[in-house]
Amino acid sequence: MKKRIFALFLSVLLLGSVLSACGDAQPQEEGGFGSDGTSSSGEAVTGGELVVGISQDLGDSLDPYQMTAAGTREVLFNIYEGLVKPDATGSYVPAVASDYTVSEDGLTYTFPLREGVLFHNGEAVTADDVLYSFETCAATSVETDLVEALSAIQSIGEKDGAIVITLSEPSPAFLCYVAKVYIVPADYAEQATSPVGTGPFRFVSRSVQENLVVEKFADYWGTPACLDKVTFKIFEDANALMSALSAGSVDMANHLTVDQVDAVAGDQFNVLEGTMNLVQALYLNNAVEPFDNEQVRQAMCYAVDVDAILALTADGHGAKLGTSIYPAFSKYFDESLNDAYPYDVEKAKSLLEEAGYGDGFDMTITVPSNYTPHMNVAEVLVEQLAQVGIRATIEPVEWETWLSDTYVGRNFESTVIGFDAATLSAGALLNRWMSDDDSNMINYNNPEYDEVMAQANACTDEDEQTALYKQAAQILSDTAANVYIQDLADFVLLKNGLDGYSFYPLYVMDLSTVHYVA
């Protein structure tokens, strides 16, 4: 049985790199409100402080191998780095390593270590630290896909100032996972509460349920951060965040809805628009009646008008989805699946009748109350499902309750949430629905899907692997594993006088380039 993991909510995708399985990334679409991904023009000013409003507290542990939620990964991207790291274009670039090469047979990866890289505690990064990081990550990571990828390592060692990794068999997506092995000091035991990495910002302090403070790392090996200090301030109450933005006590906030943006944008903020790179859906517990019935699930797909949801909740912003792949994974994204279940009330009623639920049924939609986009969508779903006799009730819960009871405990009927990919590979989006994957919270059990995914994950031919992943996505659609909705639009408010923020094809918030302008 695979190790149970907690990593969830929100977004990521494929990227352009020398490894073909990590190729074909497309930058996020930026538009709406006239945004080009920046907030203003003028000469960049070094220094200053920034307050960022975020909607959930970070996880209990700040250890990079124990990060349990995407929101935690998003923030700590500023602190940690691997041998390579993703950039805003969707490419992997050298980080702690100065370069990398891959042997012709795809088995050997060589990463020359960059000279002069320091940890935030002032100690120099050594080969021993890198080897320790890989060994510790492989033994302790909560991310199943990452652990499995590292299990393919036949040998790892240092030679002539480079880390040399040899795999037991070619793994086209291996570089994607190398980037997830954050390099940490070998002789440091406080990562969970006082993290030390090599990134452009260093950890200063954390107050649980209040804030996380980082500051510019003066000895950073690369282009230094522009800002001196960043405070991530937690607002689990959306109204409190809106009040703070209106009062000017918060300089930046992301993952906002259209209504939130309209309420506070004015002349004080610039609005940037990207996408969250996630799969938002009405996720159904396939082990619970009546959702164990494929016809019922298909009826629900026909009963939901996704176009109306986008119009009602986001003024048409966002990208319609029909399976567990979103558009940024252009190589694997099949747009035709978006219309596999056109809105058809009579078809939905007919399927319910055939399934033995002609009078409809009662159901509960559990939603984390601090995520306004999910609450808004759930409210529309209640109204739409009622048109076919399905009587849905929303159960708002706190985030930690959702995480422990719904995601980990699988004690739910349905839920509205969004799943991201923790690594830049299609498998990171699709593996979770394999029957033996402990992140398979919906209890999806389909032998055909398992077989196709097993073949895809083992395949080294790029074209064949792509076809298999697309076949797996088709199966999820055909069997109505969930009621798929959208990749949410991602609205960011950035106070006037700030510039330099870029959307990534990955669920991260890179603040190293954000700066004030003269």
Q: What is the pLDDT of residues 442-471, one digit of tens each?
A: 999 999 999 999 999 888 777 898 899 999
* Mean pLDDT over each residue of the chain, to the nearest integer: 88
Q: What are the tokens at 88?
A: 């805003």
Whether pLDDT at 8 is above 90 = no
How many Cβ atoms from other residues are within 10 Å of residue 452's Cβ?
Answer: 22
Of 290, 275, 321, 291, which Cα lies nearest the Cα of 491? 275
pLDDT (tens digit per residue) in 179-193:
999 999 998 999 999
3-state secondary structure (DSSP) of residue 477: helix
Instruction: Show Cβ contacts of residue 159 under 8 Å, excluding neighbours closer than 6 positions.
Output: none
Q: pTM higher than 0.85, yes or no?
A: no
Of 108, 114, 99, 158, which Cα lies nearest the Cα of 132? 158
* pLDDT of res. 426: 83
* pLDDT of res. 9: 32
Highest mean pLDDT among 280-289, 428-437, 450-459: 280-289
Average pLDDT of span 50-70: 90
CA separation, residue 9 to residues 74, 171, 368, 395 (Å): 11, 26, 11, 18
* String of DSSP letters for 76-102: HTTT---SEEE-TTSBEEESSBS--EE
Q: Which residue has the higher pLDDT, 283 or 260?
A: 283
* pLDDT of res. 423: 64
The whole-angstrom separation of Cα 503 and Cα 417 is: 21
| Beta strands per DSSP E along 118-258 | 153-159, 162-167, 201-207, 211-216, 229-234, 252-256
Q: Are 487 and 278 in contact (CB under 8 A)?
A: yes
Q: Is the peptide bond before 290 cis (omega within 30 degrees of 0)?
A: yes
Whether pLDDT at 18 is above 50 = no
pLDDT (tens digit per residue) in 384-405:
999 999 999 999 999 889 999 9
Whether pLDDT at 29 is above 70 = no
Q: Which ranges of 122-237 does DSSP label H, i.e. alpha helix?
A: 127-140, 144-150, 174-178
Whether pLDDT at 13 is above 80 = no
Instruction: Using pLDDT thresholds of 50, 70 and 90, give the confidence band for residue 24.
Output: very low
Q: Which residue has the higher pLDDT, 275 or 118?
A: 118
Q: Are 357 and 296 in contact (CB under 8 A)?
A: yes
Whether pLDDT at 131 is above 50 = yes
Task: Give the β-pairing of 483-487 and 319-320.
Answer: antiparallel
Dihedral through CA 159, CA 161, CA 162, CA 166, nearest 10?
10
Q: Are 54 and 71 in contact (CB under 8 A)?
A: yes
Of 395, 367, 394, which Cα lies nearest the Cα of 383? 394
pLDDT (tens digit per residue) in 197-231:
999 999 999 999 999 999 999 999 999 999 999 99
Average pLDDT of span 102-115: 95
